[in-house]
């Protein structure tokens, strides 16, 4: 007796075949393809693989393009007037292991920075080479779910977070990190640091007549208590020594109501401190207008950075009218504020990454305004005595996010904006290499000057 064909398996096979075929035929579905017919000849090619004398050498040869990427002129920092020299000088002191030498970087950015993408990789590269001076600044709690810093875990409860982007604090006081936190008795945050060795913990807060009390713990040991009440309203900070072996910390509101800004972990060793300061959905107007100038200036002075990186533009690139009108004015105001507060610090304008957009036929191109915005940033850097790093060109220029989205594995999310960790590492590596290229050129310049002065004395 002839058995009937099983309907359910046949239906499943047909559905699978349709799922493979449709993305090949419909351009808008191209990125959902699961099979490439062009690979069939390679699959059917059963010629034996030619083995070299050394399989290890063969594999190294195959990987060589990834191991030693070609440096293009676009991947270097543009700095014709020596705007980065103050930062490079601080790095040189650290490299020479001068007592107490710290090269501190404040990296202001948007959503990738708030997740510590790019900044975490640069931090790691610099600290591996020059030494670890501490993790740096971290917010009191997570103001949004994707706030994170590599090497720090946090759990918290009882806090009201007011980021500067929402302008909910009418006084414009948001601390160094751009977020103000209000908590009442019982509010707490617990932090777990991956690396031990920190010797100082600093709490930045808002003092006022009605201020409450905060207790700080390292493990189970009480480090100190802080009464935030003051006769007048003012921003302040308190530093406590902490056991270098401690990796778990807690801050707890033990009386009344407090308003806090951020924590900073430091080490006594010479090295680099790299603060990733990201605000979700931010744009240049936030630092230019929403942050109280005097308050932010005080926070910058207390941080004493050697380099301030201004890394905005992704969100702005979606608004051509803003880029044409207000953006240059806002950027000039940011640069004026930073230079007035910390005139000794180097300033680096870092362009945004590529931002992808769907085009006709389903291809992924670049939003039209982004190249224009990058050109404006380059011009503003030159006009205001700042250095400039063209992230957009260094990573590949127009259409890069489309290539990253089609890569296996993907290097960017489906919004064509936010990189995957592997994509962020590429950009972080590019920035680190650009910083090191500039630093090495600076050391060569110093060597030549010293040799010329020695010849004069002969």
What does the pLDDT average to over 161-187? Answer: 97
Q: Is residue 273 scored above 60 in pLDDT?
A: yes
Overall average pLDDT of the 273-288 stretch: 97
Kind and range of the H or E element at 154? strand 152-163
Q: What is the pLDDT of residues 80-103, one digit of tens each?
A: 999 999 999 999 999 999 988 999
Across 112-121, 312-321, 334-343, 446-455, least confident range: 446-455
User: What is the rounded average pLDDT for all residues in the chain?
Assistant: 88
Among candidates 400, 417, 434, which has minimal Cα distance to 117? 417
Structural domain 137-268, CATH architecture: Sandwich (2.60)
- Nearest Cα to Cα of residue 361 among 30, 18, 91: 30
pLDDT (average), residues 195-224: 97
Count the alpha carbons within 13 Å of 256 in the hemisphere toward its beta carbon.
15
CA distances from 60 to 158, 408, 429 (A): 53, 20, 20
Q: What is the mean pLDDT of residues 207-234?
A: 97
By three-state DSSP, how is residue 193 classified? strand
Query: Pick the residue with more confidence: 72 or 83?
Result: 83
What confidence score (pLDDT) does residue 437 get?
Answer: 96
Check whether 28 has a pLDDT greater than 60.
no
For residue 23, pLDDT over 70 is answered with no
Strands (DSSP E) found in 231-320: 234-241, 248-255, 257-266, 271-278, 307-311
Across the range 298-305, mean pLDDT stands at 98
Q: What is the mean pLDDT of residues 325-353?
A: 98
Q: Give residue limits of the domains in the chain.
A: 71-133+271-458, 137-268
Q: Is the pLDDT of residue 446 over 80?
A: yes
* Overall average pLDDT of the 429-451 stretch: 93
CA distance 352 to 149: 20
pLDDT at residue 261 greater than cutoff 80: yes
pLDDT at 293 over 80: yes
The fold of the 71-133+271-458 domain, in CATH, is Rossmann fold (3.40.50)
Q: Are 175 and 279 in contact (CB under 8 A)?
A: no
Strand partners, 433: none
The pair of three-digit structure tokens given for residue 363, joined into one six-digit string: 């291809």
Strand partners, 204: 237, 262
Distance of alpha carbon 297 from alpha carbon 120, whole angstroms: 25
* Predicted pLDDT of residue 41: 37
Q: What DSSP string describes 84-121?
A: THHHHHHHHHHHTT-TT-EEEEEEEESHHHHTTTTHHH
Q: pLDDT value at position 234?
A: 96
Tell me how far apart the alpha carbons of residues 203 and 213 are, in angstroms, rounded to a whole number: 13
Cβ neighbours of residue 457 closer than 8 Å, sequence gap 6 or more:
none
**What is the model's pLDDT at position 194?**
96
């Amino acid at each position: 007796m002839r058995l009937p064909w099983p309907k359910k398996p046949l239906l499943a096979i047909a559905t699978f075949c349709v799922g493979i075929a449709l993305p090949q035929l419909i351009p808008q579905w191209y990125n959902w393809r699961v099979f490439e017919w062009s690979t069939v000849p390679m699959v059917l090619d059963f010629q034996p693989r030619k083995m070299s004398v050394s399989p290890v050498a063969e594999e190294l040869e195959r990987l060589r393009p990834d191991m030693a990427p070609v440096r293009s002129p676009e991947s270097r920092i543009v700095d014709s007037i020596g705007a980065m020299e103050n930062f490079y000088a601080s790095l040189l002191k650290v490299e020479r292991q001068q007592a107490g030498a710290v090269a501190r970087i404040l990296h202001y950015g948007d959503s990738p920075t708030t997740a510590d993408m790019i900044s975490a990789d640069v931090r790691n590269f610099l600290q591996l080479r020059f030494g670890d001076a501490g993790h740096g600044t971290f917010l009191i709690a997570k103001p949004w779910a994707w706030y994170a810093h590599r090497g720090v875990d946090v759990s918290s409860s009882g806090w009201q977070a007011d980021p500067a982007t929402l302008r909910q604090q009418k006084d414009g006081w948001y601390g160094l990190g751009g977020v103000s936190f209000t908590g009442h008795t019982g509010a707490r945050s617990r932090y777990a640091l991956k690396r031990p060795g920190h010797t100082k913990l600093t709490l930045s807060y808002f003092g006022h007549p009605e201020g409450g009390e905060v207790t700080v713990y390292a493990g189970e040991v009480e480090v100190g208590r802080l009464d935030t009440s003051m006769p007048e309203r003012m921003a302040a900070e308190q530093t406590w020594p902490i056991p270098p072996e401690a990796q778990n910390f807690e801050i707890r509101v033990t009386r009344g109501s407090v308003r806090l800004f951020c924590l900073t972990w430091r080490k006594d060793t010479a090295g680099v401190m790299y603060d990733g300061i990201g605000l979700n959905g931010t744009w240049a107007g936030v630092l230019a207008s929403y942050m109280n100038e005097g308050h932010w200036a005080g926070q910058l002075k207390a941080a004493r950075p050697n380099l301030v990186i201004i890394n905005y533009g992704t969100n702005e690139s979606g608004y051509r009218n803003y880029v044409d009108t207000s953006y240059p004015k806002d950027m000039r105001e940011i640069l004026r504020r930073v230079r007035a507060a910390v005139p000794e610090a180097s300033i680096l304008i870092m362009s945004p990454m590529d931002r992808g957009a769907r085009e006709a036929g389903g291809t992924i191109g670049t939003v039209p305004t982004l190249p224009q915005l990058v050109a404006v940033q380059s011009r503003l850097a030159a006009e205001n005595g700042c250095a400039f790093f063209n992230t957009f060109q260094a990573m590949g220029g127009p259409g890069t996010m489309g290539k990253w989205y089609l890569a296996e594995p993907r290097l960017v999310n489906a919004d064509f904006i936010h990189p995957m960790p592997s994509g962020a590492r590429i950009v972080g590596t590019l920035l680190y290499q650009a910083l090191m290229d500039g630093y090495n050129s600076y050391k060569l310049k110093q060597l030549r000057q010293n040799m010329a002065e020695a010849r004069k004395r002969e």
